[in-house]
Amino acid sequence: MEEMPAWLDWLRKPDLARGGRERLHGVPAVRRVKNYAAFSGYVYEYLFEGYRDKPACREYIFSVSGDRKSWSVFRVRIAATSTQAWECDRAIVLGDRERYALAKLALFSTFDERTNPAQIRGSLEVTPAMATDLLEKLDL
């Protein structure tokens, strides 16, 4: 395949795996901008970029915007220990879809809890208590 000219760089999908980072898995074939109306009154836009498995957790990567102009990367980290108690109590092992749903609910929770888009930066570590609360919403 021929290399794309530099002046067409804006057409490329952002590759968050560049710069020595591990390759992302679950990258959507077509990126779709989705919206979420938060309790704060802001309407956020977000894109799912993919996930990567770390030694102690799975990290879900989202691009988020609160103003449709500036975008930032937000990571939701779900450690195996975060869901372990919930899985043991119900004798259920969460699959990839359920873990992704948990990551999205954690993202939505962040949108709801923070008062403005400037606070949506960095990452969120899902705690066992948070995982239990969010998984109850999924009705598994």
Structural domain includes residue 111: yes
Other CB atoms within 10 Å distance of the CB of residue 92: 13
pLDDT digits (tens, 9 = 90+) for 58-116: 999 999 998 888 899 999 999 989 998 888 998 989 999 999 999 999 999 999 998 87
What letter represents residue 27's amino acid?
A: V
pLDDT digits (tens, 9 = 90+) for 24-40: 888 888 889 999 999 98
Give the CA count within 13 Å in the CB-facing half-sphere of 135: 24
What is the pLDDT averaged over residues 2-7? Answer: 53
Number of separate domains in the chain: 1
CA distance 78 to 131: 9
Query: Residue 104 has what pLDDT?
Result: 96
For the four alpha carbons of 35, 118, 55 and 29, in that order, the dihedral sign comes to: positive
Which residues form the domain of 63?
A: 21-138
Structural domain includes residue 120: yes
Structural domain includes residue 33: yes
* pLDDT interval class at 5 (50, 70, 90): low
For the chain, the maximum distance between any two Cα atoms, rounded to a whole number of angstroms, is 55
